[in-house]
Structure 1
Amino acid sequence: MDKPREFTKSISVLQVIDTSLYIASAVVIYRYVGADVQSPALGSAGPLGKKIAYGLAIPTVLIAGIVNGHVASKYVYVRVFRGTNHMHERTLLSIGSWVAIGLISWVVAWVIAESIPVFNNLLSLITALFGCWFAYGFPAIFWFTLNKGQWFASTKKIFLTVSNTFILAMAITLCGLGLYVSGDAISKDSGSGVWTCANNAV
């Protein structure tokens, strides 16, 4: 960042815009569709609207999936080959390993997607496993790490220590309860749609 002191201002603007867009889309969808919104919500549009929406969304979804798959594969590759010549040289082992890691990661993603066919349940599982930690758990852990030995140094630090303890407890609770609810929903809903080409919109 060119001016690090402006970070708070930029993150605040991002949060306001982000929250406004989420609220606006939720209100518009609820206004025109009602409580019976399909998941994903694009399935609730009319026949023509659905085709247009999916036509616009598919490139974005593909790009996002490819980026995430590439990052995961690169992470594994770097962890395996850090400190070796294979990191930067084109050898048979490095190319073969890169292809194998990519193939394995995409096969694992495909197996998960086919095994949990209801989109809502898959989103719930992902959110319970990762969302609550990235949004609440890790920031609290980072605060404790950055302020190690100073948790009770002042009134402000005591307040922040209590606040971050509460946030961390909330993340653990959300993860545990979210996993339980997701697992329960997956076991109830995963009947006929597993490993088929049927429409899995709810």
Structure 2
Amino acid sequence: MSFPWSYSVLGLVPGLILTIVVAALVLYTSLIVWEFCLRHPDVKDVCDIGKILFWGKNWAWYLTAAMFLLNNTFIQGLHCLVGSNYLNTISNHGMCTIGFSAILAAISFFCSLPRTFSTLAKVATASAFFTFVSVILATVFAVIEDRPNGYAGTPPKVLLVPAAGTGFVAGMNAFMNISYTFIGQITVPSFIAEMKDPRDFPKALWAVTTAEVVVFSVVGAVIYSQTGTNYITTPAFGSLSNEVHKKVSFSFMIPTIIFLGVLYASVSARFIYFNIFTGTRHYGNHTLIGWASWAAILAATWTAAFIIAGVIPFFSDLLSLMSSLFDSFFGFIFWGTAYIRMRRAEHGPRFWRVRGWRGVLGVGMNLSLIAIGLLFLTGGTYASVRSIVHGYEQSSFGGPFTCASNGI
């Protein structure tokens, strides 16, 4: 539901084009991840890939592990933050905001306790259904309402292209909001490792990508067309003027708010747990030490997530900062490098010549992926930090561990 805001900054036409381009890049890089995992069936997670890519060095594994765990914990914190956003909205600020974040962290901790993805897969199906209902309701409500929330007599202003004077910081943050929603390759190796037949992965990937492009584009474009640049909020539920419409549509999102945080917590916990207990009887058996350790790992990650949600009380800038710091590697740089390493192993150091025009096109495409990742890491981080500094200068954010409402 941050897509309408991104379109309000980028303009509707560039926003839709970037949505399709980012989706295509994520599809392409996910297929590279899949091919890499098939070539290296011993890979359990993205940290193993990081070590293989960078000459088998232990420092590469540890550095990737640090980024991996930080990325996942930030996402858990984001979902604590959005959960408090929802609870404040639905209760009309019935409790201190930090209390709502604690409630979400506690609920998510208990939902994270299952140790296999097979259990989470059933929850994921329900989560996807409720998310679809939520965004469709929000879109329908935005269309049938007479005016957006905060209407001040001026009609919604819909921009096909960016407004004159749109700066690098605003444009980069909007672009990263779109990218963050699509980028999830960091979890793909963990999923593939548990698939009965990893060769089926592309079928699921194509289905998911197609559904994402259609839903994200339609919902983003329609809601933006009804609210315009002058009345848009993030998340876009806040642009609905009817309180019942806002609360009903937002309520259907709560399973996803919980599930996505749970998913990333589970991926992190599995990574830590497996590296501690591989080769012991606790690895695949129901033992007291195994379950106590699993619960302790989850408790640690959700405590860290709760702290992040309390210290960083903003939504869109957190998305952008996460995207610039971590998606630069896990969305682009790693997979451009993986492609080059695989082709070099197949055809030798001059692989790009041996393969003819396909080799030239392939190496050009994947060097471009690495360049996009470096743009995220440098320009994206700068834009995110500048936006956060500006927000504090304008007193747009509450203080750490605030009781102030962040409802919409």
1:26 aligns with 2:228: no
Distance 1:74 1:17 in 2: 28
Return 5+ residue gaps in structure 2 as ranges.
1-195
166, 176, 183: which is aligned to 2:378? Answer: 176
RMSD: 2.7
SS at match of 1:188: helix
SS at match of 1:147: helix
Asked whether the equivalents of residues 69 and 105 of structure 1 are also in contact (C-alpha less than 8 Å), the reply is: yes
Give the drift of 1:177: 1.5
1:1-202 paired onto structure 2 within 5 Å: 7=202, 11-12=205-206, 14-35=208-229, 36-46=231-241, 47-148=243-344, 149=348, 150-155=351-356, 156-190=358-392, 192-200=398-406
Kindly, what percent of the aligned residue pairs are identical?
A: 28
Distance 2:317 2:380 in 1: 11
- Taking structure 2 as the reference length, what is the TM-score of the superposition? 0.45
Change (3 A) 1:62 1:144: same
Asked whether the equivalents of residues 136 and 167 of structure 1 are also in contact (C-alpha less than 8 Å), the reply is: yes
Aligned partner of 1:173: which letter? L
Distance 1:33 1:16 in 2: 26
Give the drift of 1:22: 1.4
Return 5+ residue gaps in structure 1 as ranges.
none
Note the alpha carbon deviations across 1:65-120, whole angstroms, 9 max, x for none. 22221221121111122122221344443233222211110011111121111101
Give the drift of 1:165: 1.0
Distance 2:287 2:310 in 1: 35
Note the alpha carbon deviations across 1:28-68, whole angstroms, 9 max, x for none. 11111111321111122221111101211112211222222
Distance 1:13 1:21 in 2: 12
Asked whether the equivalents of residues 238 and 246 of structure 2 are also in contact (C-alpha less than 8 Å), the reply is: yes
Count matched residues. Answer: 201
Give the drift of 1:10: 6.8
Asked whether the equivalents of residues 313 and 398 of structure 2 are also in contact (C-alpha less than 8 Å), the reply is: no
Higher relative contact order (CA 8 A, sep 6+): 2
Give the drift of 1:161: 1.1
SS at match of 1:87: coil
Distance 1:134 1:18 in 2: 19
Aligned partner of 2:398: which letter? S
Asked whether the equivalents of residues 327 and 373 of structure 2 are also in contact (C-alpha less than 8 Å), the reply is: no
Aligned partner of 2:281: which letter? N
- Taking structure 1 as the reference length, what is the TM-score of the superposition? 0.85
Asked whether the equivalents of residues 336 and 369 of structure 2 are also in contact (C-alpha less than 8 Å), the reply is: yes
